[in-house]
Amino acid sequence: MVQHTDVGAYALGLLEEPDARAFETHLASCPSCHEELGALRGLAATLDGLPPIPEEPLPAPVPDPSVVSDLLQRRRRLNRRRRVSQALVGVAAGVVLMGGSAGLGITVGADRDEAPPPVERPVESGVEALFRNSRPVSATDPASGISGTVATQRKQWGSEVGMRLSKVRGPLRCELVAFDRAGREHIVSGWSVPAKGYGFPDSPMRQLTLQGATALEPEEITKFEVRTIGTGRTLLTLPNR
C-alpha cells in the first residue's frame, strides 16, 4: 500500500522498483505528495555527492573484564544502528545545508496568489557536471518561444535529470514529466514560475536551472514534457534521443 510518508524514501532512491513505480502512480493524484517531492528532489541530488560522515572512535578498552564486555556489547549495538540510521543522518545533514547555504536555491512552494520572484543564484557545480558529462537534448516551441534543455545521467537508483528553461511567463506552477516506452508518466520535479518569468528583459532570472530524478533508466525515457500543474497544459516537449 502506498503511504504519503513514502515521499522521502522515494526522493532518496530507497524504495524497491515495484514500490517506486506504485508511488509514481500515486503522485499523479496526490497534490500534497507532489509538492513535497518537488522540494526533496533537489535535496536528494545534493546528498548524492556528499562524502561519508566520519565516525567517532570507540573509547580505549579498560582491562576490567566487565568493562570490556560492556564495550563489546555497545559496539555490536552501534554497528546494527549505523546501517539503519545512515540514510537518516544524510537527510539531517541535507536539511542543515538547505537552511545555511544560500547557493542551493531550493524553495518549498506555499499556497499564495503569486509566488515571490526567485533570486538568481549561481549554477551548482553538480548541474554543470551533469550537462558536461551527458548528451543534452534541446527544444523550442515555435508558437510561444519557450526553450529548454534536458540532460540525464545514469545512477544506481535510476537517472539524475538536469533542466534549463527560458521564456516562460507566470504566475504558474509547473512540473517536468518523463515518459517511459509504455507511455506512462513519471514526475521528475516541480516548481513555481513568478509573474515576470524567466529570460525576459524584466525577469529576475535569465533562465531556470534545476535538478530532479526518476527511477527510470536513461534508455527507458522516450521524452520529457514541461507542463502546468492543475490544468495539465504542455508548454514544451523534449524528445529524449
Domains defined for the chain, CATH in brackets: 125-239 (2.60.40)
- Residue 226, pLDDT > 80, answer yes
Which amino acid is residue 164, in one-letter code?
Answer: R
How do strand 185-193 and strand 158-166 relate by DSSP bridges? unpaired
Strand partners, 178: 186, 224
For 136-178, the pLDDT digits (tens) are 999 999 999 999 999 999 999 999 999 999 999 999 999 999 9
H or E stretch covering 46: helix 31-47
Which strands make up the sheet holding 185-193, listed edge to edge? Answer: 185-193, 172-179, 223-228, 234-239
Give the tens place of pLDDT for each residue, 18-42. 777 777 787 777 877 777 777 666 6
Tell whether the model's pLDDT for residue 117 goes beyond 70.
Answer: no
Contact 217, 117 (CB under 8 A): no
pTM (two decimals): 0.49
